[in-house]
Amino acid sequence: MLLKEVLQATEIERIEGSKRNHFSGVSIDSRTIREGELFIALKGKRFDGHKFVKEAIRKGARGAIVSLPLSLSPPSTFSLLYVLDTLKALGDISAYLRRKSSIPIIGITGSNGKSTVKELIAFLLSRRYRVLKNKGNENNYIGVSLTLLRLNPAVQVGVVEMGTNHFGEIRRLSKMIEPTVGVITNIGYAHLEFFKSIEGVYEAKLELIEGLRRDGLLVIDGRDKTLYSRAKERFRGEVIGVKEEVFSRNLIHPQNLAIAFAVCERMGIDKKEMRERIKVFQAPPMRMQMKEKRGIRIINDAYNSNPSSLSYAIEQLARFGRRRILVVGDMLELGEESEGLHFEIGKVVAEKEIDILISVGKLAQQIGRGADYYGMKGDILHFSSNQETSRYLITILKAGDTVLIKGSRGMRMEEIVSQLEQTL
User: Could you report the per-residue pLDDT of 324-357, keeping only the tens digit for each?
Assistant: 999 999 999 898 889 999 999 999 999 999 999 9
Mean pLDDT of the chain: 95
Least confident interval from 118-132, 183-197, 378-392, 396-410: 183-197
pLDDT digits (tens, 9 = 90+) for 131-165: 999 998 899 999 999 999 999 999 999 999 999 88
Does the pTM exceed 0.85?
Answer: yes
> What per-residue confidence (pLDDT) applies to 249?
76
**Average pLDDT value for residue range 305-326:** 93
CB atoms within 10 A of CB 48: 12
Give the per-residue SS3 of the chain: CEHHHHHHHCCCCEEEECCCCECCCEECCCCCCCCCCEEECCECCCCEHHHHHHHHHHCCCCEEEECCCCCCCCCCCCEEEECCCHHHHHHHHHHHHHHHCCCCEEEEECCCCHHHHHHHHHHHHCCCCCEEECCCCCCCHHHHHHHHHCCCCCCCEEEEECCCCCCCHHHHHHHHHCCCEEEECCCCCCCHHHHCCHHHHHHHHHHHHHCCCCCCEEEEECCCHHHHHHHHHHCCCEEEEECCCCCCCCCCCHHHHHHHHHHHHHCCCCHHHHHHHHHHCCCCCCCCEEEEECCEEEEEECCCCCHHHHHHHHHHHCCCCCCEEEEEECCCCCHHHHHHHHHHHHHHHHHCCCCEEEEECCCCHHHHHHHHHCCCCCEEEEECCHHHHHHHHHHHCCCCCEEEEECCHHHCCHHHHHHHHHHC
Of 121, 177, 112, 169, give the one whose Cα is nearest residue 313: 112
Averaged over 43-58, what is the pLDDT?
95
User: In this predicted structure, what is the pLDDT of residue 189?
Assistant: 81
Neighbour count for residue 294 (Cβ, 10 Å): 8
Domains of the chain from N-terminus onward: 3-86 (3.40.1390.10), 101-280 (3.40.1190.10), 289-423 (3.90.190.20)
Mean pLDDT score, 404-418? 97
pLDDT, tens only, 229-279: 999 999 999 999 999 988 887 778 889 999 999 999 999 999 999 999 999
| pLDDT score, position 130 | 98
How confident is residue 194, by pLDDT bands cut at 50, 70 and 90?
confident
* Across 163-192, average pLDDT: 92
- The whole-number pLDDT of residue 347 equals 97
Closest CA to 325 of 294, 355, 370: 355
pLDDT of residue 398: 96
Confidence of residue 73 (pLDDT cuts 50, 70, 90): confident
